[in-house]
Structure 1
Amino acid sequence: MFFKHFKKVCLIVMAVFTISTPLAVTANNHKTNIKTQKVSKNLSKQDKNSQQLDQQTDNLIKNNLPLNLQAKSALAVDAKTGQILYAKNADQALPTASMSKLLSIYVTLQAIQAHKINWDTKVKITPALHALSVNPEYANVELKAGHEYTIKQLYQAAIYSENAGAMAMGYGVAGSTQKFALKMRQAVKDLGINDAQIYTACGLTNGEVGSLGFKDVDDNAENKLSATDMAIISMNILKTYPHILKDTAANTTKFENNTMLNWNWMIKGRSEALPDIKVDGLKTGTSDTAGACFTGTAVKNNHRVITVVMGVHHSGQYDPSRFVETQKLLKYVYAKYHHVNLAPNQSVSEMTEGRNDGNIYVPNGKNEHLSLSFADKQDIWLDNNQQFNLQKIQPLSNLKYKGGIDAPIDKGEVVANAQVKGTKYITDSNVKLSASKDDDKANIFVRMWRSIMSLF
């Protein structure tokens, strides 16, 4: 009897537990959902924006859809090699507005490096420079007529897009604003850019700077460069003067008693910063003809890119549209590609998993086929579905011999160039290949025999 009653009690307890367990689980899940909702609410605007961009980017890549940026031209390249990761009308010359100041800064840094001037060089402000500095139509900090400012002060003003500051900097470097514009033209030619139009150090039109412009040039003439040109200039600045990142990543700087605010809203602490991609330069530009423009640089997982967007429609100076387009571009590039790291002395055959035999023909060598290795360290960006492969393996011109290379060859000697299949660059970029071992010249009898056999 006791056992029967005990069994009934156990069944009742089990039934209650079975009913209560889902309720408990549901209650716990409800608490979890509430917690998740609270976490979601606590996400910053930047985090939410980043997550939405990730979803949009994943959809594009998953469905093999193109990235359509709302810009007249755009470009993304590797900051060291110039490998093109995205391009839209990238070679079309367009008004650059204040992005021109990047070139002005580059020329100034060259002059400092050549010891023609230094950071403490004083520049006396002319009446024309003063008049430009107090023109309320343009971004400016007042430069007092007859007062002297250092190149360092004017350089900082140029970075923060002060137009008269950039013009005064050029005046101090070259002796006149017109001569400085000529130096800017020469600088881009030295970089291989032959179609640039340069008139002012600041990006205003020739007429807008008044007597500081060229006398026999139309008032509407303005600086024009392509997105590719802007990327080339930026690559050379970052390579030669990397300290510029410290200057362009600062939110504010002082000019006498004035605090100047950086127009780059993607740097840390600003409204359009991305939480997972560090943007730390370079320069914005805005005008009626140029639209909203931005040449930027960013790094993620130690891989730096340069981005350019030009001709973005905007409704006013506080419209973030150029940064929105840059956000899309950065997210797309970092999601679409993976990296292949080439190491010195790494076998071509091994790296390509046999897709390239990794050999080069040596007609007069002891070994007719010499295995190749990579000569330098280099990073390559590949589409996520792309395998690493070389094409157009060409012997160096000074080593060419009967369809191959001429022996003797020393181990480690660079003997050929190649291109990575499926990649493009804004400038010529080849992968250097070296001999993985020595290859002496075969004796005369072996060479004669090979010549005879080649006839059959």
Structure 2
Amino acid sequence: MKQDIKKRLAFLIVSIGMTIPLVIQPLSTQAADNLDLNADSAILVDAETGKVLYAKDPDVALPPASMTKMMTEYLVLEAIDSGEISWDTTTEISDYPYGISANPLFSGVGLRQNHEYTVEELYNAMAVFSDNATTIALAELIAGSETEFVTLMNEKAEELGLPEYEFVNSTGLDNASLGDDRPEGTEPDGTNLLSARSSALLAYHLVNNYPEALKISSQTEVEFGDDTLINLNWMLDHDATFLEQFHFEGMDGLKTGNTELAGYTFTGTAERNNNRLVSVVMKTDSEEERFNETEELLEYGFEEFESQELFPAGYQLEDEQIAVAQGKEDVIDVSTAEAFTVPVKSGEEELYSVSYTINEENLNEEGELAAPIEAGDTVGIAELVYDGEADYGYIFEDRSDTVDLVANEDVEKKNWFMLTLGAIGDFFSNIFTTVVDWVKGLF
């Protein structure tokens, strides 16, 4: 007989509330080089630019547990966006998710068969309560089976550029827990794998491409039938008194996870002053610890970094002009087409400079630009150079701090007469130089 979810959650909250004061430690903001996170892997990313602000072994592939569901969320939202399904689309529950929901080991929401559930109901239970059975039901709705859905997951991971990943099911459970119901073609003891970088990149795409995901993940509770489901993200502004110590200003997502193999994981995101950060901690030792480490990461990001325009559009290096061949002007000024705006750590503003690189295809053998040139023509790239100690780069493999380098003005090509005079002058100049060299050779 299905247990009442409110009662089970109340018991859970009381039990946890009795033990938490014994393990909670006060947090203090630390510099990145002093951060000593109790997580096997972690990363902190600026959600607008993709700039990595901190990383600890971010490329180690580890079991993500229910953080896997971020990919399921992405594919559901993509299907809604394409019109394949809608929030009001209904589906019945097959034997597979029904059996998962009825299994007390998975603390399911008690799905019923011969009952129509909307996509919105199932998604809420998945995103807020991390329910496994509703996740499988959504996978079956979109792809026909979880087996086919796993194929979509891996294809989407490649499309999004996730560097380290392997999806073997839609939920993040270990395949051993699924028994014979595991997706076809996957190993009996298989498990999903993601690196912290891949988890952060998936979250980056999720919140930027489908910001509505945050409206759901930020809910502290949702109604499911006659029950109330409590969000497992303790860093939201819950009403429960014992959770106040975990509340983090600006927190609105994203996904917790826990299995025996994965430990306690969390992909979090928060926004303050129109600045959004994404954090990932993997393989921590407890529910409390994953939120403590996340708070330390996010506080570091918000307190130590500020998005700044270091060099404006139109910036040009002093005394930096490019020689022009066959032009009415011998040189041309060049400047940046866009501003360099990046998250900058406090006190490091002076550690940035700009360097130029002219496109080789635009240069002749003497290293000159060939006229004619029009103002605004791209002639090369300008790169932001950081001379500090810790540069973690970007979450994208091919991203760097570069903008187009453009010509500031028109330079017309000399007319045929002036070019002819120039050629004649060069001819006699070369003869004169040859004669001089010959005479010098006599002595």
- Fold shared per TM-score above 0.5: yes
Task: Report the residue type matching 2:97 in the other structure.
Answer: L
Q: Aligned-pair distance for 1:397?
A: 7.2
Alignment correspondent of 2:271: 299
Mark the CA change 1:234 to 1:442 in structure 2 (over 3 Å): closer, same or farther.
same
Please say if 1:193 is aligned against 2:162: yes
Structure 1: 5+ residue stretches without partners: 1-44, 350-355
Give distance in 2, aligned partners of 1:146 and 1:297.
Answer: 37
Larger RCO (CA within 8 A; separation ≥ 6): 2
Give distance in 2, aligned partners of 1:79 and 1:204.
Answer: 28
Which of 431, 437, 442 aligns to 2:408? It is 437
Task: Report the residue type matching 2:55 in the other structure.
Answer: A
Please list the CA deviations of residues 379-428 of structure 1 after superposition, one character each: whole Å capped at 9, or x if unmatched: 33245234253455334577566556555444445543333223411211
Q: Aligned-pair distance for 1:338?
A: 3.4
Q: How does 1:408-447 map to 2 (within 5 A)?
A: 408-422=372-386, 423=391, 424-427=393-396, 428-435=399-406, 437-443=408-414, 445=418
Alignment correspondent of 1:264: 233
Please say if 1:371 is aligned against 2:334: yes
Please list the CA deviations of residues 313-346 of structure 1 after superposition, one character each: whole Å capped at 9, or x if unmatched: 12xxxx3110100111112222333331268x63
TM-score scaled by length of structure 2: 0.79
Which of 312, 329, 333 aligns to 2:297? It is 329
Alignment correspondent of 1:104: 72
Mark the CA change 1:375 to 1:204 in structure 2 (over 3 Å): closer, same or farther.
same
Higher mean displacement: 68-77 or 300-309: 300-309
Alignment correspondent of 2:222: 253
Higher mean displacement: 290-299 or 435-444: 435-444
Q: Aligned-pair distance for 1:124?
A: 1.9
SS in 2 for 1:268: coil
Number of matched residues?
389
Task: Report the residue type matching 2:234 in the other structure.
Answer: W
Task: Report the residue type matching 2:315 in the other structure.
Answer: V
Mark the CA change 1:437 to 1:67 in structure 2 (over 3 Å): closer, same or farther.
same
Q: Aligned-pair distance for 1:65?
A: 4.7
Residue 206 of structure 1 contacts residue 213 of structure 1 at CA under 8 Å; is this kept in 2?
yes
Alignment correspondent of 1:346: 313
Alignment correspondent of 2:136: 167
Which of 116, 119, 137 aligns to 2:105? It is 137
Residue 372 of structure 2 contacts residue 412 of structure 2 at CA under 8 Å; is this kept in 1?
yes
Give distance in 2, aligned partners of 1:107 and 1:235.
Answer: 14
Which of 41, 48, 54 aligns to 1:86? It is 54
Please list the CA deviations of residues 261-297 of structure 1 after superposition, one character each: whole Å capped at 9, or x if unmatched: 111111224534456x411111111111111111111
Alignment correspondent of 1:42: none
Higher mean displacement: 261-270 or 396-405: 396-405
SS in 2 for 1:236: helix
Which of 178, 185, 189 aligns to 1:220? It is 189
Please say if 1:281 is aligned against 2:267: no
Task: Report the residue type matching 2:171 in the other structure.
Answer: C
Mark the CA change 1:216 to 1:302 in structure 2 (over 3 Å): closer, same or farther.
closer
Residue 99 of structure 1 contacts residue 283 of structure 1 at CA under 8 Å; is this kept in 2?
yes
Residue 347 of structure 1 contacts residue 436 of structure 1 at CA under 8 Å; is this kept in 2?
no
Please say if 1:389 is aligned against 2:389: no
Please list the CA deviations of residues 182-239 of structure 1 after superposition, one character each: whole Å capped at 9, or x if unmatched: 1000001001225411011110122322344234432221110111111111111111
SS in 2 for 1:320: helix
SS in 2 for 1:381: strand
Please list the CA deviations of residues 425-449 of structure 1 after superposition, one character each: whole Å capped at 9, or x if unmatched: 1211333134362232442657968
Please list the CA deviations of residues 18-56 of structure 1 after superposition, one character each: whole Å capped at 9, or x if unmatched: xxxxxxxxxxxxxxxxxxxxxxxxxxx9xxx99x64xx3
Please say if 1:73 is aligned against 2:49: no
Over the matched positions of the two proteins, sequence identity in percent amounts to 29
Alignment correspondent of 2:124: 156
SS in 1 for 2:411: coil
Mark the CA change 1:117 to 1:438 in structure 2 (over 3 Å): closer, same or farther.
same
Give distance in 2, aligned partners of 1:154 and 1:136.
Answer: 19
Mark the CA change 1:363 to 1:173 in structure 2 (over 3 Å): closer, same or farther.
same
SS in 2 for 1:239: helix
Mark the CA change 1:85 to 1:115 in structure 2 (over 3 Å): closer, same or farther.
same
